Amino acid sequence: MNTMRTMMLLAALTALFMAVGWLLGGGAGMVMALIFAAATNLWAWWNSDKAVLRWYRARPATEANAPGLVALTQALARRAGLPAPRVYLIDEDQPNAFATGRDPAHAAVAVTTGLLRTLSRDELAGVIAHELAHVKNRDTLTMTVAATVGGAIAMLAQFGMFFGGGRDRGPLGLIGALAAAILAPFAAMLIQMMISRTREYAADREGAMICGDPLALASALRRIAAEAGRRVNEPAERDPATAPLFIVNPLSGRGMDNLFATHPPVESRIAALEALAREMGRAPARPAGAAGGPGAVARARPSDADAPAVTRVPRAGRRRIMRGFRKGPWS
């Protein structure tokens, strides 16, 4: 299913590439766009994770700059049955996080310094588990490639607006160039949204099962959404195509980005997690914005047949995951 979804996404973005090429240069432009799209897809498949991390100036996380973060991520990865991903820090006040990489063996999880300052220990575990769920479901490949190709489409459209569009260039001349410049970036974002809005619910559920506490993840989403609306993430504003990678929409909505929602409503995601907590036998009694305490990670007892493979978090297992992380910046 994930492979088919990835191929459909790449096919749609490739078709959009060709449409932009046709508007800018007719048949010859369409052929050139097809060649460019093929090269971009191939490059994105192997290098898009490095490009995204470089765009956000991410640096490797260590015990010196993020005490306990790497060990926490490794412990949760073992629970999820995944190889330990690389862990990165982004010097950004907005609390947020994303995962990237073409497969679990080449995955990376990046968190902002604002996230470490904002969340409690259990909330941070919920966020990391959510990102590991994306890795497990191979959403990282889909969305990282989409972000790279979507950005390339926008760049091609803008290039054509300023350097093409003459009567001898495309069948619609200047009108075609303007149409490509205005509509192509929106079309690329819509394609990304069709994937992003459904994958977040699945990652929320899988992540809650990995960390063992849906309410901790729900509390983290509430905190991140409240802070993200007040703090501008400048790299994301400059390249909105990367916005669907994050756990919560990083865009401020100051401009045209407000017309499209790259993520499902946070309230709906929280409601789904609270429903999952009730399925596990836990009442969602955590007040709005409350921090998770040392005992916040509770036993997971899913009752429906659709639950992920990780269906139980014994008390000893919870202690192993959280032991040694009380001295982190999120404590």
DSSP H/E element including 97: strand 97-100
Task: Check residue 318 and give its pLDDT.
Answer: 45
Q: Bigger pLDDT: 299 or 90?
A: 90
CB-neighbour burial class of residue 95 (10 A; exposed 0-12, middle 13-18, buried 19+)? buried
Which residue is catalytic, options 123, 131, 206, 227?
131
Q: Is 200 annotated as a binding residue?
A: yes
Q: Is 131 a catalytic residue?
A: yes
Task: Check residue 288 and give its pLDDT.
Answer: 44
Q: Is 263 annotated as a binding residue?
A: no
pLDDT digits (tens, 9 = 90+) for 313-329: 444 444 444 444 444 44
- Is the pTM higher than 0.95? no
Q: Bigger pLDDT: 297 or 140?
A: 140
pLDDT of residue 128 exceeding 70: yes
pLDDT of residue 304 exceeding 60: no
pLDDT of residue 226 exceeding 70: yes
Question: pLDDT > 70: what percent of the chain?
Answer: 61
pLDDT of residue 36 exceeding 50: yes
Q: Bigger pLDDT: 45 or 51?
A: 51
Task: Check residue 195 and give its pLDDT.
Answer: 61
DSSP assignment of 206-259 equals: HHHHHHT-HHHHHHHHHHHHHHHTTS--HHHHH-GGGGGGBSS-----SSGGGG
Q: Bigger pLDDT: 96 or 313?
A: 96
pLDDT digits (tens, 9 = 90+) for 99-114: 999 889 999 999 999 9
The confidence band for 276, taking pLDDT boundaries of 50, 70 and 90, is very high
Q: In this predicted structure, which of 136-145, 175-184, 290-299 has the lowest mean pLDDT?
A: 290-299
- Which of 206, 235, 225, 157 is closest to 306 using CA atoms? 206
pLDDT of residue 281 exceeding 70: yes
Q: Is 134 annotated as a binding residue?
A: yes
